[in-house]
Amino acid sequence: MSAGPARDVAARIAANLATVMQGQTLAIRRLLAAFASGGHVLLEDYPGTGKTTLAKALARSIGATFKRIQFTPDLLPSDILGVSIYDQRDQTFRFYEGPIFTNVLLADEINRASPRTQSALLEAMGEGQVTVDGTSYRLHDPFFVIATQNPVEFRGTYPLPEAQMDRFALQFGLGYVEPQEEVAILTAQERHHPLEDLGPVASVDDVARLRAAVRDVRVSDELRRYVVDVVRATRTAPGVQLGASPRASLALMAGAQALALLDGQAFVGPEHVQEIAGPVIAHRLAVDPQARFAGLTGVAVVEEIVKTVPVPA
């Protein structure tokens, strides 16, 4: 698929999502950027802002399977991956697939599960396959994880360590919508949820072609260098304990390519890098405890870097 039809696919999905997610154009754009570039998304926002709806709507839009796992402290890795059970009739072990065998997976409140369970999911995200009892099983394609975290509640949670945060291509929040849009949401859901009306606008094959088209978006050497400069700058930024990894550079470039495709552009512009830099990099930074206490956040660090690193023009 060339850039034109691929862009149409993305536009159709975006329009479809917009019917159920009023006033969330930016979040939809970011979600699609991650989806099209093959990365996973961590949503960090308050309860009731539409995280689940967004994930469900995406799954419906592409006619893909959708599963949701509510993470709890007693959740076990086998609850996610699946389990082998001895079949007395066949006298063999039979593998029962867990909820991870799906196209779109919503990992709700991922920080409530124990680190062991978290890492089971995150490894699957990184490898695209799971191994149970020595046998590897490929996950479905496309496989897209939307994990959510509640930023206010910390009691009984296991915050994701930096290494695991690194596995998410993007992290962003949805935020509260404008009052008139919230009224529109009320109106739309008066009789039934608009999600129920949502039909597929693209096929799973379309998604595969969309992803291939993203990889075809051209990037100049100069902008590749700019991507690296921005990511490298996080490693020496004041108040940052641990800067972003080369994986962040990869995610930043792929995200910028996806944004360029969404904009109908065959090549990446510097704005695309700047636009996606915050969601791609900020969550990977370990901010110095003292600096964090003084009010410094990863987002502020990235914003400052984007402002100071000379952008190609």
Partner 1 sequence: MTPPGLLGAALLFWGWQTGFLAVGVVMAALVEGRHLVRSRWDLSRTDFNRVSDLSAVLLVLIAIYQFVGTDAARAVLAILEWLPLTVLPLVTCQLYSTAGVVDLSIFFWSLRRRANEHPEEPGWPIDLTYPYVALALLSASAANVRTGAFFAGVVALAGWALWSARPRRYPAAVWIATLAVAVALGWAGHVGIAAAQRAMERVAQSWLLNLIRRDTDPFKSSTALGEIGEVKLSPRILLRVESANGTRPPALLREASYNVYNAPTWYAVDAAFISVSPEADGATWKLGPPVPERGRVTVAAYLRRGKGVLPAPSGARQLDNLLVVELAKNPLGSVRVDEGLGLVRYAAHFGDGTADGPPRTLDLVVPRNEQAAVERAAAQLGLAGKTPEQAVIAVRAWFSSHFRYARFLGARPQGVSPLEDFFFRTRAGHCEYFATGTVLLLRAAGIPARYAIGYAVHEWSPLEGRWVVRANDAHAWTLAWVGGAWREIDTTPGEWISAERETASFWTPLGDLWSWATYLFSRWRWSEREDRLAGSIGWLLVPLIALLAWRLYRRRRVATGAARGAAATAPPPRPGDDSAFYLVERRLAQLAFPRAPGESLVRWLARVESARPPAVTTAALPALLALHYRYRFDPAGLGAAELTELDTGAREWVAAHDMGGPDMAPQAHQARGATPPSDSPGQRS
Question: Does 268 sit near partner 1 (CB under 8 A)?
Answer: yes
Q: Does 266 bind partner 1 (CB under 8 A)?
A: yes
For residue 71, give the nearest of 45, 99, 97, 50 by alpha carbon: 99
| Cis bond upstream, residue 142 (ω within 30) | yes
Taking CB under 8 A as the rule, does residue 225 contact partner 1?
Answer: yes
Query: What kind and span of H or E run contains 116?
Result: helix 115-127
- Dihedral pair phi/psi, residue 252, rounded to 5°: -65, -40
Burial 69-81 (b: 16+ CB within 10 A, else e): bebeeebebebbb
The nearer residue to partner 1, 132 or 230, going by C-beta atoms, is 230
Paired tokens of 203: 């096929």
For 133-169, strand residue ranges (E) read 135-138, 144-149
Residue 110 or 305 having the CB closest to partner 1: 305
Contact code string over 2-31 relative to partner 1, x by CB under 8 A: ------------------------------
The least CB distance from residue 301 to partner 1, in Å, is 14
Q: Can residue 299 be called a binding residue for partner 1 (CB under 8 A)? A: no
- Does residue number 134 form part of the binding site for partner 1 (CB under 8 A)? no
CA 245 to chain centre: 17
User: Residue 186: in which H helix or E strand, if any?
Assistant: helix 179-188
Of 200 and 270, CB closest to partner 1: 270
Among 233, 253, 262, 281, binds partner 1 (CB under 8 A): 233
Contact residue for partner 1 among 10, 219, 248, 276 (CB under 8 A): 219
Q: Where are the beta strands (DSSP E) in 14-121?
A: 41-44, 66-70, 82-87, 92-97, 104-108
300 part of the interface to partner 1, by CB under 8 A: no
Is 193 or 218 the residue whose CB approaches partner 1 more closely?
Answer: 218
Task: State how far the Cα of 33 lies from the Cα of 282, in Å rounded to an integer.
Answer: 16
Report the residue number, 70 or 308, with the smaller CB distance to partner 1: 308
Name the residue nearer to partner 1 (CB basis): 208 or 294: 294
Candidates 229, 245, 250, 292; binder of partner 1 (CB under 8 A) is 229
CB of 242 to partner 1, least distance (A): 10
Q: DSSP string covering 165-180, please?
A: HTT-SEEE---PPPHH
- Which positions lie near partner 1, rule CB under 8 A? 218-225, 229, 232-233, 235-236, 266-271, 274, 293-295, 306-313
